Amino acid sequence: MYNSDAELLHYIRSNDPEEIEALFAAARKVREEHYGNDVYFRGLIEFTNHCKNNCYYCGIRRDNVRVERYRLSTEEILNCCRMGDLLGYRTFVLQGGEDPYLTDDRIVEMLEAIRRVYPDHAITLSIGERSRKSYERFFRAGTNRYLLRHETASDEHYRKLHPSSMSLAERKQCLRDLKDIGYQVGAGFMVGTPWQSNENLLEDLRFIEELEPQMVGIGPFIPQQDTPFGSMPGGSLELSLKMVALTRLLLPKALIPATTALGSISPQGRERGLMAGANVVMPNLSPKAVRKLYALYDNKICTGDEAAECRLCMEGRIRNYGFMPNMARGDAVGFSPVA
Ligand code: SAH
């Protein structure tokens, strides 16, 4: 029912409320079969906003001179982990720009420091493209998961969003390397980026289906004023939700976050993401002082809150919609790590 190109495109295009609600209901049902009503919590630590890349959509791109740059020390990161652990988190997600100061040695040192204190927590890394050798070192240092959105699965479209120094082929290679090494891998894409067509979104779904990542991050594109796309229109909530639902139907066991970007374009965007088949939330654990500086896009939510507020706020929101917070590590079902 949701398999052929024609059917998928039909839903991507649809604006029939009844049909869309039926799609969301189908996605919820599939999610419930594998995960019940549980929503997994991941503590997000945005530990550097330095970046050598120049993606046209991103607020922390290299050429944005208006963003004040920061980088957390290992000690500061450990403090975030300590707070996160107290709040019940069993997954730490370490995300940042592609920061040249953070050599493999420095990343490994950070990972080992976290691993030493938290032998049982899941560590998720999200620091962009590195060599297979680097990914292997990070894995040996105790990293369990890696988030690297492919952003768009169309070569032509990818070139419109990135400078010529970047390529989709390389990004896809990174994703394959990560899977091969034994990470639980998260791919994903933005919805409503400039010049994105419905066919491009279909390509995203087909790519996800073929790669079979354990996690899929989907969020609307939101303009950031100091980027080349600053005055472009953003992606819509409805279309983003439909893509979450279709992804759930194609990959029933995936861990799919109701993203911060969804919550940033609509007051109940994340709850609606859960109602469309998502089953993960990633409340922020970064120190309050740096929250505003990790400005990928304008009007990002939760930039003024303490970690504890985010944790409680999210739990309340989830319960309001009939979901159950689950603070366990929450590895992907059916994932068997290589030895
Ligand atoms: N450097 C890391 C992390 C990037 S930031 C990496 O390359 O993976 C995490 C995600 O934020 C990106 O993958 C992108 O999909 C999203 N993002 C960046 N700018 C955005 C914008 N303007 N609107 C919405 N999402 C954005």
58 lines ligand 1 (CB under 6 A): yes
Assess if residue 319 is contained within a domain.
yes
Contact 9, 198 (CB under 8 A): yes
Q: pLDDT, tens digit, for every residue of 165-189?
A: 999 999 999 999 999 999 999 999 9
Assess if residue 158 is contained within a domain.
yes
Q: pLDDT, tens digit, for every residue of 36-54?
A: 999 999 999 999 999 999 9
128 lines ligand 1 (CB under 6 A): yes
Residue among 55, 170, 190 to mutate when testing ligand 1 (max atoms within 8 A of CB): 190
Task: For the chain, give the percent of residues with pLDDT over 90.
Answer: 97
Assess if residue 337 is contained within a domain.
no
Q: In which band, very low, low, confident or very high, does the pLDDT at 238 lie, cut at 50, 70 and 90?
A: very high
Domain range spanning residue 39? 5-326
Contact 30, 2 (CB under 8 A): no
Q: pLDDT, tens digit, for every residue of 73-124?
A: 999 999 999 999 999 999 999 999 999 999 999 999 999 999 999 999 999 9
- Which of these, 231, 237, 216, 260, lies nearest to 56 by C-alpha position? 231
Assess if residue 305 is contained within a domain.
yes
Closest ligand 1 atom to the C-alpha of 95?
3
260 lines ligand 1 (CB under 6 A): no
- The average confidence (pLDDT) of the chain is 97
185 lines ligand 1 (CB under 6 A): no
Assess if residue 129 is contained within a domain.
yes
In the predicted model, is pLDDT for residue 294 greater than 60? yes
Residue 84, pLDDT score: 98
Residue 335, pLDDT score: 82
Task: For the chain, give the percent of residues with pLDDT over 70.
Answer: 99
Q: In what order do the strands lie in the sheet with 43-48?
A: 43-48, 91-96, 122-126, 145-147, 184-191, 215-220
Assess if residue 299 is contained within a domain.
yes
- Which of these, 287, 284, 297, 335, lies nearest to 64 by C-alpha position? 297
In the predicted model, is pLDDT for residue 208 greater than 80? yes
47 lines ligand 1 (CB under 6 A): no
Q: Which residues contact 168 (CB under 8 A, 6 or more apart)?
A: 150, 152, 153, 154, 155, 158, 159
Q: Please state, in angstroms and rounded to a whole number, the distance separating the CA atoms of residues 133 and 84.
A: 30
Of all protein residues, whose CA lies closest to atom 24 belonging to ligand 1? 221
Assess if residue 334 is contained within a domain.
no
Q: Please state, in angstroms and rounded to a whole number, the distance separating the CA atoms of residues 154 and 201.
A: 9
Assess if residue 244 is contained within a domain.
yes
Domain count along the chain: 1
In the predicted model, is pLDDT for residue 212 greater than 80? yes
- CA–centroid distance, 184 to ligand 1, in Å, is 19
Q: pLDDT, tens digit, for every residue of 320-332?
A: 999 999 999 999 8
In the predicted model, is pLDDT for residue 55 greater than 50? yes
Cα Rg of the chain, angstroms: 19
CATH number at residue 81: 3.20.20.70
204 lines ligand 1 (CB under 6 A): no
Q: Residue 330, Cβ neighbours under 10 Å: how many?
A: 19
Of all protein residues, whose CA lies closest to atom 10 belonging to ligand 1? 149
